[in-house]
Amino acid sequence: MPPSDESAPFFPERRRHSREFAIARTFKAPRELVFAAWTEQQHLKQWFGPKGFTIPISHLNLVPNGAFHYCLRAANGVEMWGKWIFREIVPPERIVFVNTFSNRHGNLTRHPYVPNWPLEMLTTSTFSEDNGKTTIYLQWSPLHANAAEQRTFDTMHEAMAQGWTGTFDQLDDYLITF
């Protein structure tokens, strides 16, 4: 079972022993609700992504080998596309998917701003509930990364923590209105 300490959402000690990135966050909502926010298109569009971005276009097929293909649009109109390919879905406990940047057609592309970012990331999200609160434990690791991509990933854990913290903040705000 992953650690669930609300006061330490980023686990630098794991980074010393592993090349994965891990972060956790506890939400004041039942697990079924939090899981629905992660697995239903109408909910994902309301909170997922960096602060200041919207998801104007998305398609979700929540089955193994299915995909969530989406467009992230900044306030200035700049667009980035992403895609998740689902490997494992165990409601309401776990979701495993490969996360990539893509083009509007769903084809794999490089990160638009970090050229040596790994092309594929394995994402494992585990959902556990205790007394009506849900902790999401998220693990991220590069798949098939070359040495330069692995080095880039290894040096960006703090930035990933900031990004995921902002995304989790948006999920927390959304769950209040859900």
pLDDT in tens, 5-23: 443 344 444 444 358 999 9
The reported pLDDT for the residue numbered 80 is 96
Q: Measuring CA to CA, how many Å separate 74 from each of 51, 52, 79, 80?
A: 9, 6, 6, 8
Task: Read off the CATH number of the domain in which 52 is found.
Answer: 3.30.530.20
**What is the separation of C-alpha 117 from the centre of its chain, rounded to a whole number of angstroms?**
15
- What pLDDT score does 19 carry? 82
The SS3 of residue 153 is: helix
How buried is residue 72: exposed, middle or buried, by Cβ count under 10 Å (0-12/13-18/19+)? buried
Q: Residue 2 falls within a domain, yes or no?
A: no
| Residue 112, domain member (yes or no) | yes
Residue 3 belongs to some domain of the structure: no
DSSP letter (8 states) at residue 10: B
Do the domain assignments include residue 8?
Answer: no
Contact 111, 142 (CB under 8 A): no
The pair of structure tokens assigned to 90 is 């165990």
**Does some domain include residue 44?**
yes
Q: Burial, 130: exposed, middle or buried (Cβ in 10 Å; 0-12, 13-18, 19+)?
A: exposed
Q: Are the CB atoms for 82 and 53 separated by under 8 Å? A: no
Instruction: Report the chain's C-alpha Rg in angstroms.
Output: 16
| Per-residue pLDDT, 25 | 98
State which residues of the chain have pLDDT below 70.
1-18
Q: Give CA–CA dist 66/38, Å, rounded.
A: 15
Q: Is residue 83 one of the residues assigned to a domain?
A: yes
pTM over 0.85: yes
3-class SS at 169?
helix
CB contact set of 1 (below 8 Å; sequence gap of 6+): 128
Residue 15 in any domain: the answer is no
Structure tokens at 79: 């667009």
- The first and second tokens of residue 77, run together, are 């109109």
pLDDT of residue 15: 40
Look up the domain containing 173 and give its range.
22-177
| 6 part of a folded domain | no
The number of distinct structural domains making up the chain is: 1
